[in-house]
A and B are shown apart, each in its own frame.
Chain A
Amino acid sequence: MELDAGNTAWVLASSALVLLMTPGLALFYGGMVRAKSALNMMMMSMVTIGIVSVLWVIYGFKLAFGYEANSQWYGSISLSGLGDAVGELTNNGGVYPIPLLVFAVFQLMFAIITPALISGAIADRAKFLSWGVFVAIWVTLVYFPVAHWVFSFGNKDGDTVTGAGFLASRGVQDFAGGTAVHINAGAAALALAIILGRRIGWQKSPMRPHSLPLVLLGAALLWFGWFGFNAGSALAADGIAALAFINTQVATAGALLGWILVEKIRDGHFSSLGAASGAVAGLVAITPACAFVAPWAAVVIGFIAGGICALAVGLKYRFGFDDSLDVVGVHLVGGVIGSLAIGFFGSSAVNSLGANGLFYGGGATLLGKQALGVALVASYSFIATLIIGFLIEKTIGFRVSSDKELGGVDLSEHAESAYEMGGILKGGR
């Protein structure tokens, strides 16, 4: 097969779009914390870009997308440093006319943002070194293998497929990462929020977002980058990419409206934080489904996800875990909604690679497969993260001292202040 310039150009551009999501996430999260820990919040995302990129080249890509071990659970163990990928075309359940290195860099961006998403659960209180150690271990033991389960369709040579992932080979549908990215990060966030414990003063002192304009800017960058995340996952500039693109737009719009309508009814106001959060919830929910459902269904999925996530962010108060920036309520819940929605709205008419869900006469078969994917990824990520987090807490410690937490982790972990003018009376402390 010849290399296709148009497809290659689109996936290259998409890779850059997806990278931008992580700095966007840094702004989205950074604006939501108090001024005294804004830099730390952003740095947790930034350092993740550094750590995961390096590990990806050394062994991460092969562990996720290699096929040599012929295992459903991991790719291959190799320290080749991508040297053997130069000049190759992508083969993931069939040959794509784009360089393997383009596929590798596109998938790297997913591997970066997934652990970065988790950081929202442990705002204001984590040792920065321990976060870096966590990221390195977590991607190695959780993200890289789970990406193999979900995204690796194996090396296809003639009729022989080698090394396809456990969920991918069973027909569990996840176009761009509802399970591997969002459920994975959301379940891990729940585990880390439990390991680190509640912040001092949680539910007593007002922990207001220090800059909602930053949150809105971050949400806008996430939305923008998400077109690469979803439409780029077609690995081609084709009709499937077009479907994923429009579904990404309209589901997000529906979710934005769903979230602020719930807020208006429940709290009396349409909040800007609600609009930003609703948009992200919609992006999360449409991620697995974007290439398997019709645009009208994407609006419905988004609207439902926005409304349910707006209610789900209250769960942490009922159960008493301080998931500071609602990674569970948005990413775990939104990811589950989107993954299961394929079982209802999935249609082979919109995508010949898809399958019919309950509403298209496909029965409950697809829904059952989707539930398997949700349950397996959520439980593996939760348990593995509990163990990793517990071991870090017992060895090098995961949480800063109460003095440092009260004074702000920006100062204790980075010796910097985000805003020179932040003072006691401005809500900065």
Chain B
Amino acid sequence: MKLITAVIKPQKLDDVKAALRAIGVKGITVSEVSGVGRQGGHVEVYRGAEYPIDLLQKIRFEILADSKDVQPIIDAIVKSAATGQIGDGKIWVTAVEEVVRVRTGERGSAAI
């Protein structure tokens, strides 16, 4: 079992959700996050004073998946979230030791 974490541009939220639904992904967790990467920040100007805003808003997806489903999910996210511009985000995959469904107590793959 794996945890797929993807950080994407906020305006790609709906596209990524639709792409994941299209390949049968049932459960996702989405959060609003802030961060800085190669894209850097932007500058805002108030009454002529420039403020560099280095933390940018991003959307973080977290998806639990069977190992065999990881590659299609990554492909779907890359395809739907890419704009070709700097700041499109990142995807990383981590191993998961155990998953438990709270309602039934089911464990492992059955709980995904």
Residues of chain A at the chain B interface (Cβ within 8 Å): 206-209, 263, 266-269, 271, 273-274, 277, 310-311, 313-314, 317, 326, 425
Contacts and interface: CB of A to CB of B under 8 A. Distances in A.
6 contacts: A206-B51, A267-B48, A271-B46, A271-B47, A310-B48, A314-B48
B52 to A, nearest CB: 7
Nearest to A326: B47
Contacts of A425: 32-34, 55
Contact of B47 (A206, A269, A273): A273
B48 A266 contact: yes
A277 B53 contact: no
Nearest to A268: B45
A425 B49 CA distance: 22
Interface of B: 32-34, 44-53, 55
Task: Tell me the dominant secondary structure on chain B's binding face.
Answer: strand
Contact of A206 (B32, B34, B48, B53): B53
Contacts, number: 38
B55 to A, nearest CB: 7
Contact of A313 (B34, B44, B47): B47
A50 B4 CA distance: 58
Contacts of A207: 51
Contacts of B53: 206
A263 B47 CA distance: 8
A206 B45 contact: no
Contacts of A311: 48
A267 B45 contact: yes
Nearest to A271: B45
Contacts of B55: 425
Nearest to B48: A314
> Nearest 7 pairs between A and B by C-beta?
A206-B51, A425-B34, A267-B45, A313-B47, A314-B48, A273-B46, A208-B51
Residue of B44, B48, B51 with most partner-chain A CB within 10 A: B48
Contacts of A206: 44, 51-53
Residue of B44, B49, B52, B53 with most partner-chain A CB within 10 A: B49
Contacts of A208: 44, 46, 51
Contacts of A263: 45, 48
B4 to A, nearest CB: 23
Nearest to B50: A267
Contacts of B46: 208-209, 271, 273
Nearest to A203: B49
B112 to A, nearest CB: 29
Nearest to A330: B47
Residue of B50, B51, B52 with most partner-chain A CB within 10 A: B51
Contacts of B50: 267
B82 to A, nearest CB: 25
A317 B47 contact: no
A261 to B, nearest CB: 13
Residue of B32, B45, B53, B55 with most partner-chain A CB within 10 A: B45
B98 to A, nearest CB: 30
A29 to B, nearest CB: 13
Contacts of A317: 49
Nearest to A205: B51
Given A206-B53, A266-B48, 17 more contacts: A206-B44, A206-B51, A208-B44, A208-B46, A208-B51, A209-B46, A267-B50, A268-B45, A269-B45, A271-B46, A273-B46, A273-B47, A274-B47, A310-B47, A313-B48, A314-B47, A314-B48
Contacts of A313: 47-48
